[in-house]
Amino acid sequence: MTEVDPDKPEDAPLFLPSQFTATQRSILKLEALAQVEYGLREGQAYDALADLRTAIRTFNYNKDVKGASVRGVGRTTRAQKFMKTLSNDIQAAGDSYRRTWVGLVKLGMSPTDNTLRRLEKKQKLEGKGGKKTALGDSKKAEPWFWNAFRPSGMSEADEAAWEVESKSHPEIPMRWFRERALRDRAIEEVETVEAEFGRVIAWFRKNSEIWERMAEGASGGAKAYTHKQAERYRELGEECVREWARAPALVEEDRIAEEKKVAEDAQKAEQEEGLEPRTDYSVYTFAPPIASSLLTTALFTELLPSQWIERLGKLHSSEKVSRRFTE
């Protein structure tokens, strides 16, 4: 059993059910407690994903503000430090979810769960949230954690409770209305193109009929010209019909090309970052500032000769600094 330091209770290990195997939990009669921890960790996982999405939105918004408003070396440097802090918040939220996900898997959740998925270390923590809407955004697929809201495998009572709770959460209705607006806009664009094609085809056919009727009362060169115009409009109408028939195939070609481009970009990004995933620095325990300063002092004491330590002590009039190098 690990001894607990009474001066540092925050470092005391908590032997939660997730730290035991299924067999050990059965022997120690921890099944009921494991279910309680599973429910708490599931909520913690959704909270971590919500924090991750919020951190990404905050980063994207401030990035746009920085690019539009920040000028000058000093302000740019301070803004970069602030952006680094926001980037660290994103990584911290991702690390928090990873730790919670590991606990859920140990408690029995399937590693291939469709809602709470594994967040790979090489997964880019990004999204469109917080950015200004730009052309082509609707074609860009967002990572899975932007749609991880609804838990899977809920009972009817839990589902009803989730529906009530989700209405009070501002993120879910806002995202739903935004996605619905994008869908309606896309449907409107398709309907507009369909109507335009139908109108153009009807216009060409009507003009061809008009020139044909004009040819009935014409003679000589005028009659030849009217037949020529009628044939031209008829060919244009037939060409529109052929192109409209090819539209589904063209859409499919564009879809395949976009998927290929996304795959190539992902492969290129993976090659740039390296095959090894990013190191999760949250698993390391860093020494506190006091311990770090003492460690630095010890290194100086070991590496520097005693006479140099005395000289350094004399150079600093502060008794505290001198004592730091000599003790």
Render pLDDT for 29-84 as a digit per residue (tens, 0 to 9).
Answer: 888 999 999 989 988 998 899 899 889 989 988 888 888 888 888 888 888 899 99
Place of tokens 């005028």: 222
pTM confidence score:
0.58
DSSP 283: G
Q: Which of 63-67, 132-136, 172-176 tops mean pLDDT?
A: 63-67
Task: Give per-residue pLDDT as tens, 283-311.
Answer: 433 333 333 333 333 333 333 344 433 44
Please give the Cα distance from 267 to 175 (Å, whole number): 29
Tokens of 56: 């990404």
Going by C-beta distance under 8 Å and a sequence separation of 6 or more, which residues neighbour residue 325?
297, 300, 301, 309, 312, 313
Tokens of 109: 């959740």
**Contact predicate 229/212, CB 8 Å:** no
